Structure 1
Amino acid sequence: MKDVLPGLDVVDDPDVLESLSHDDAEWAPYGTPLAAVRPRSTEDVRRVVAACAERRIPIIPRGAGTGLSGGANAVDGAMVVDLSRMNRIVAIDAENMTATVQPGVINDDLKRAVAEHGLWYPPDPASAPWSTIGGNVSTNAGGLCCLKYGVTRDYVLGMEAVVGGPAGGYGTVVRLGRQTTKGVSGYDLAGLFTGSEGTFGVITEITVRLRPARREAPRTVVGAFDSLVAAGRAVAGITRAGLLPAALELLDRTCLRAVEQWKHLGISADAEALLLAQLDTPGRAGDDEAAAVAAVFGAAGALWAEQSTDEVEADALFAARRLAYPALERLGPVLTEDVCVPRSRVPEMLLLIEEIAARHGATIATIAHAGDGNLHPLILAPAGDEAAKRAAQGAFEEMLTAAIGMGGTVTGEHGVGLLKRDGMRQELSPAVQAMQVAVKRTLDPLNLFNPGKVIG
């Protein structure tokens, strides 16, 4: 492909291609790509898409590869489009509280840049130190702060993308959405592309809305519980009480121990589960809110519940939440769930997770964006242990069915990719699936953009 794309950084080294052929999803299949390319501009991407379309070569957009559903996995003979070098912050408009970025910008880098202008970009996945804005947009990523501040889609105003199909042929550059706070001119195509997992085109630029920076450091309330179910009751109690923390996160003992053994943050795992509530209401009202959260924890049966007065300690607790997945991954392969259920049913779902683990003989650690019902059971299986692998996969599928039965969804934020396609078919009616297929066929009639993902 180097002769077809002169002047571009085309990769054909087998070892490098192997590293670019898949994301972090355990056991999701992937093929051997023809090559990879590392564009630096929209024009580079346009050339790649046009050349691939002419030769009917599948196109696999890729960010940092931190996905957990196989959404960036290659198929045989594909071109991987590695967008990590398109990492420029194009503009920060402090007056209108927007930022325009290329897709390879790291989430935390954007946060730091806008903070210099007194602004804040809230979408906050646990992978924020590594994941890209383009990847976040492609999966409609959530994160720790989405309980109060919403998910990525709530911040995407517009985007530029290289597309095909009816727009003018493969390699056409379009601008979707808007720069303004409001706008309803035509269908919300930017919203359609957000969460599309690269199946409609390659996003090359994104404009996001920003918020004013928070005026004071958030308060952290910690509750320790003797069971996951008790912690779940506290989550449901927070909802019933009408309280709205900026974040409400759950970690079980297994996660805490794994993080502590790795990073030595000084966290004691003296309970079966911890709930971490972060509250950012300023002033006396914030004090009252923190006291109310602690009271709900206590009423739900917390062993203890108190506001952390040590900012270093509070930071360590939230660091533990972010580090839980990589800490467990050090111990062996981890199959990560991403189910989301109505908040009132969190206790029931946590109990079911324990029952499913026992039924399959699987080892499951649990973290969760508990406040919005988004649970991440992490199913562990030692490398080379085929029985543990089968148990993990059986537990994974049963949890999907259980979530759907509770009126939930098979993926709250990681995306469908490859791992959740069967679950999505359980969740969505045949009529809705047919609508999705029709949209894909219209926008990508050659089925070149990330084929085999989402709808299969």
Structure 2
Amino acid sequence: MSNETLLDRLRSELGADAVVTDVDVMATYSRDQMPLAPAGTPLAVVLPEDVDGVRATVRACAAARVPVVPRGAGSGLSGGANAVDGCVVLVTTKLDEIVEIDPDNRLAVVQPGVVNQDLRDAVAKHGLFYPPDPSSYDWCTIGGNLATNAGGLCCVKYGVTSDFVLGLEVVLADGSLLRTGRRTVKGVAGYDLTKLFVGSEGTLGVITEATLALRPLPQAPATLVAAFPSAPAAGVAVSRIVREGLVPSLMEIMDTATVDAVSNYLRTDLGTERGTLLLCQSDTGGERASAELSAVERICSEAGAEMTYHTDDLAEGDLLMRARRVTLLALESMGSCMTDDVCVPRTRIADLITGCERIAEEVGLTVAVVGHAGDGNMHPTVVYDASSEGEFERAKRAFDAILELGLSLGGTVTGEHGVGKFKQEWLAREIGPVGLDVHRRIKRALDPQNLFNPGSMFSL
């Protein structure tokens, strides 16, 4: 089947308006938020409005042997949604219906184009809560969250996306429709195919519906900030908080470089000059939240915090949290950014931060570390001048050195952003040749033509 025949078939089955071939428009769909990952030029961008449109697209592309790259809102940070030359980019944002909210069974059924924030707002009206909250929660879509097994700031208490997925509807490489999982709390019938597809980055199928578990809506959070003279002191506090069984709903860490950048960006004093900040929240409400944060505050003081402060005023807490949420904006105001995503044991967070300081000195660039102290998922960001000759190469050298450091500390090369088209060699190093072979066997079994997102995660 020729490319023109394929385009004609897609227009016939989905409607002309659903098939985009304008070069400038396609360029806006060709990559995600990781500018350094490679991206090709698609043959077309297709925006189906329902599952039948997704199935028709996959069948047509399979017949033409044309690759399909599934894509949500494009908020990813690994190049996982980036086009390859001659592919069809299948955009799921028009499948944006919240199909069902079942308060009695605490679940929701949603299509992949539903925005994370919209789902959270919708279930909140029923006194329910969908916890996964990636930093881009106000515009990222559930489909992309599922594809990357996204996390967020609340992971320390509530877990990541896969912890809330009960079942999926997935279009396979031959266009058939697979339903996985169930609506029940428990179920062990057969292999856990649901978890196989969550985090598969669009390489095994296109998710068209998800059944998601919900939690009761938590209380308004109380917030604590603690300033430490060094990363090791903050690391001691984090380890003790975990060891003593305290589980705040949020625990974030910001190193010296990040604190400096945010202070300059917000034009404010964050409570420490050359130190490390720890931000915590408790959403248990009332006296329980106060007691939890008082215990955290005591540990921070004993670990050497120079300043601690906590409040149950929601507006004041939001102001404190703004320092964490604007970190990327603050760093981007300093230059181009290369954001890494390594996860290490919580006892090695300080080692990662001090190691990044050493790497920054070696390459002569700023490396700022911010991340989820509660689960060890850190986001070292290399800041560089893209217009300066040689700085990109130094930034890439720092990026790779950070991944090497993360592995040496017993960590992983990605905690929540995914492998995409940027970390394939690092996936291979982490899981080894046997692990990579198993990945390839699964891929060949479900997608023998290598139709879905070829070149992402690993190559066949």
Coarse TM-score class (shorter-chain normalised): over 0.9
Q: Which residue matches 2:101?
A: 92
2:243 to 221, 240, 243: 240
Contact kept? 1:89, 1:102, Cα under 8 Å: yes
Q: Which residue matches 1:5?
A: 10
2:53 to 23, 41, 44: 44
Q: Which residue matches 2:118?
A: 109
Q: Does 1:175 pair with 2:182? A: no
Q: Which amino acid aligns with 1:124?
A: D
Between stretches 220-229 and 405-414, larger displacement belongs to 220-229
CA distance in 2, matches of 1:173, 1:313: 48
1:200 to 204, 209, 212: 204
CA distance in 2, matches of 1:322, 1:244: 21
Aligned CA distance change for structure 1 residues 384 and 226 (closer, same or farther; 3 Å): same
Q: Does 1:14 pair with 2:17? A: no
Contact kept? 1:147, 1:245, Cα under 8 Å: yes
Shift of residue 95 of structure 1?
1.2
Q: Which amino acid aligns with 1:371?
A: G
Shift of residue 261 of structure 1?
5.6
Residues 415-439 of structure 1 deviation map (CA, whole Å, 9 limit, x = unaligned): 0112221111111121111111100
Q: Which residue matches 2:352?
A: 349
Contact kept? 1:265, 1:316, Cα under 8 Å: no
In structure 1, stretches of 5+ residues that fail to align are: 165-169
Q: Which residue matches 1:394?
A: 397
1:332 to 325, 331, 335: 335
Shift of residue 292 of structure 1?
0.9
CA distance in 2, matches of 1:147, 1:290: 15
Shift of residue 53 of structure 1?
0.5
Between stretches 236-245 and 79-88, larger displacement belongs to 236-245
Contact kept? 1:127, 1:322, Cα under 8 Å: no
Q: Which residue matches 1:149?
A: 158
CA distance in 2, matches of 1:62, 1:386: 33
Contact kept? 2:133, 2:151, Cα under 8 Å: yes
1:187 to 177, 191, 196: 191
Shift of residue 265 of structure 1?
8.5
Residues 234-253 of structure 1 deviation map (CA, whole Å, 9 limit, x = unaligned): 22221222211111011235
CA distance in 2, matches of 1:436, 1:143: 26
Contact kept? 1:335, 1:378, Cα under 8 Å: yes
SS of the residue corresponding to residue 80 of structure 2 reads coil
Contact kept? 2:419, 2:427, Cα under 8 Å: yes
Contact kept? 2:222, 2:313, Cα under 8 Å: no
Shift of residue 267 of structure 1?
6.0
Q: Which residue matches 1:68?
A: 77
Aligned CA distance change for structure 1 residues 95 and 310 (closer, same or farther; 3 Å): closer
Shift of residue 148 of structure 1?
0.9
Instruction: Count how many residue pairs are aligned between Structure 1 and Structure 2.
Output: 449
Shift of residue 319 of structure 1?
2.9
Shift of residue 2 of structure 1?
4.3
Contact kept? 1:59, 1:450, Cα under 8 Å: yes
Between stretches 114-123 and 180-189, larger displacement belongs to 180-189
CA distance in 1, matches of 2:263, 2:75: 22
2:213 to 182, 201, 209: 209
Residues 252-309 of structure 1 deviation map (CA, whole Å, 9 limit, x = unaligned): 35445555665x5966464332211111233433322111100111122211012124
Task: Compute the TM-score of the two structures, normalised by the length of structure 2.
Answer: 0.94
CA distance in 2, matches of 1:54, 1:412: 36
CA distance in 2, matches of 1:266, 1:38: 44
2:292 to 275, 289, 292: 289
Q: Which residue matches 1:167?
A: none
Q: Does 1:24 pair with 2:33? A: yes
Residues 96-125 of structure 1 deviation map (CA, whole Å, 9 limit, x = unaligned): 111111101111110000000000001111
User: What is the percent sequence identity of the aligned residues?
Assistant: 49
CA distance in 2, matches of 1:179, 1:347: 41
Task: Compute the TM-score of the two structures, normalised by the length of structure 1.
Answer: 0.95
CA distance in 1, matches of 2:257, 2:316: 19
CA distance in 1, matches of 2:21, 2:60: 17
In structure 2, stretches of 5+ residues that fail to align are: 1-5
CA root-mean-square deviation: 1.7
Q: Does 1:452 pair with 2:443? A: no
CA distance in 2, matches of 1:386, 1:317: 38
CA distance in 2, matches of 1:322, 1:102: 27
Alignment of 1:242-281 (within 5 A): 242-256=245-259, 258-259=261-262, 264=266, 268=270, 270-271=272-273, 272-281=275-284
Aligned CA distance change for structure 1 residues 62 and 260 (closer, same or farther; 3 Å): farther
Q: Does 1:158 pair with 2:170? A: no
CA distance in 2, matches of 1:319, 1:89: 29
CA distance in 2, matches of 1:232, 1:202: 40
Aligned CA distance change for structure 1 residues 63 and 365 (closer, same or farther; 3 Å): same
1:120 to 110, 126, 129: 129
SS of the residue corresponding to residue 90 of structure 2 reads strand
Q: Does 1:139 pair with 2:148? A: yes
